[in-house]
Structure 1
Amino acid sequence: MKIRALTGAVQDLQDATDLIDELAARRLGINRTDMRCLSRLSARGALTASELAAAAGLTGGATTTVIDRLERAGLAQRVRDGGDRRRVLVHLTERAEQLSTEIWGPIVDDAQAELRQFSLPELELIERFLSCALDNQKRHASRLRSGPA
């Protein structure tokens, strides 16, 4: 059955992605929660601590601890917002940008080369599938967060 083969392929991709994340975290000397926050900062740019907490699904206290660890590792820094001095933004450091390029740059390059093999309608279908899969993951993360342990 094709659906079973596709769901198996998605699971294999998730497992391979999980392995890359684990190996990258080890190389960076951080844990997986820290990695999730780095990912959010990389994708969205500088964020306040509360924005980062929401993006990473963490409490405020946990986020403060993560930011402290990322600063000690030289991967992030708190910077006072020039437009609103009460506001502090968390930025990736140049070192984090460089390491990110070293770790994920070749992966992105290869993925983009592979995607160029598809037609526009095929790419639109892949995008639609990924959007549905992401909605599914978010829905079930919410379910697991709010349900009994």
Structure 2
Amino acid sequence: MTDRPHAADDSPELEDRDYVALASFRHALRHFLAFSEEAARAVGMTPQQHQAILAIRGLSPREGMTINDFAERMLLKQHTAVELVDRLEAAGLVRRARDAGDRRRALLTLTDRAGELLEALSRAHLAQIGRDAPQLIEILQRMSRKDGPARS
């Protein structure tokens, strides 16, 4: 990743409506993230725990996920991912088991408790997305028009 945003030299000059659209999009994202964080806390989890179990369930629900895949999915360094998995295991949310095909690899799977919590959280999140979708779609449509970020 780069520290600076990429801008094409030939891109049109930004207008007030571009900034309004970006601010609206960012606000909508923050609104959803605030909902998500509160929902996780309401069931006794941290937002990071929720994100972690969703990543594991969403990427490899049956066979399990390697620590490397987990680190990549969570945008974490390897050692940070291992520490998070240690905490998830201690909280009774994740199991770590050796891969039968390659004993050097550890696979992460969810516990039954994590699965139950994740299902409840996912239902609530999908309902919230349904409520937020019309606004998000409208913002994204404004931002993705062919002739510029928020131009009509």
Category of TM-score, reference length = shorter chain: 0.5 to 0.7
Q: 2:80 aligns with which of 50, 53, 62?
A: 62
Shift of 1:84: 2.2
TM, length-normalised to structure 2? 0.63
> How far apart, in 2, do the equivalents of 1:13 and 1:113 lie?
12
Shift of 1:104: 2.3
The Cα RMSD (Å) is: 3.0
Does structure 2 retain, via aligned residues, the 8 Å contact 1:40–1:56?
yes
Deviations 1:71-122 (A, max 9, x none): 111111102222223221011222112111112213314535886x8xxxx8
| Letter in structure 2 aligned against 1:16 | H
Residue 89 (structure 1) aligns with: 107
Q: 2:33 aligns with which of 18, 25, 28?
A: 18
> How far apart, in 1, do the equivalents of 2:57 and 2:23 lie?
29
Residue 136 (structure 1) aligns with: none
Does structure 2 retain, via aligned residues, the 8 Å contact 1:29–1:73?
no
Does structure 1 retain, via aligned residues, the 8 Å contact 2:55–2:73?
yes
Q: Number of paired residues?
A: 122
Percent identical pairs in the alignment equals 25
What residue ranges of structure 1 are gaps of 5+ in the alignment?
130-149
Deviating more after overlay: 97-106 vs 21-30: 21-30
Residue 6 (structure 2) aligns with: none
In the alignment, structure 1 residue 39 sits paired with structure 2 residue 57? no
Correspondence list, 1:114-129, <5 A: none
Shift of 1:57: 1.9
Residue 8 (structure 1) aligns with: 23
Correspondence list, 1:69-88, <5 A: 69-88=87-106
In proportion to residue count, which structure has more helix? 1
TM, length-normalised to structure 1? 0.64
Tell me the SS of whatever aligns to 1:102: helix
| Letter in structure 2 aligned against 1:22 | E
| Structure having greater relative contact order (Cα 8 Å, sep ≥ 6) | 2
What residue ranges of structure 2 are gaps of 5+ in the alignment?
1-15, 145-152
